[in-house]
Amino acid sequence: MSAALIRAATPADVGAVFALMHELAEFEKLTHLFVATEQDVHDALFGTRPAAEALVAEQDGAVVSYALFFQNFSTFLGKRGLYLEDLYVRPSMRGSGLGTQMLKKLAALAVERQCGRFEWSVLDWNQNAIDFYEKMGATVLPDWRIVRVTGEPLERLAVSS
């Protein structure tokens, strides 16, 4: 097996990235929430107002991993941050060091862009991922919870006074 090539995603990768996104939804048991289309992903990454970026890892010509990320901002640091929305490695490639390589590439990108931090979320039941991240030097913040408004409640909030 040759070493994986990690590179910026291109429009030609959208189909493969979309397929991996669906695999991630299956792994997280969240396919009931997965409503994105390939066109949504294309527009988010390569449309007139890109909302995110992606790295892909290619093994023997096939995309086997992706990382989708975007920049945010820390008011406390007064600097941009890099937020990792998704990191997915095909099960056949887990344990090969590819996840570590992807995180290192993203950390280097954060440093290059002078970001004050690089962060992401992890599901509380995914102990393998938590252990992996902590081994790499990441801190899992115990006091923070994600707050989300979507769908009908978002519509109601937008028009409330």
How far is the C-alpha of 142 from the C-alpha of 115, rounded, in Å? 23
Neighbours of 91 (CB within 10 A): 10
133 has catalytic annotation? yes
| 3-class secondary structure, 59 | strand
Burial class (CB in 10 A: 0-12, 13-18, 19+), 46: middle
Positions marked catalytic: 133
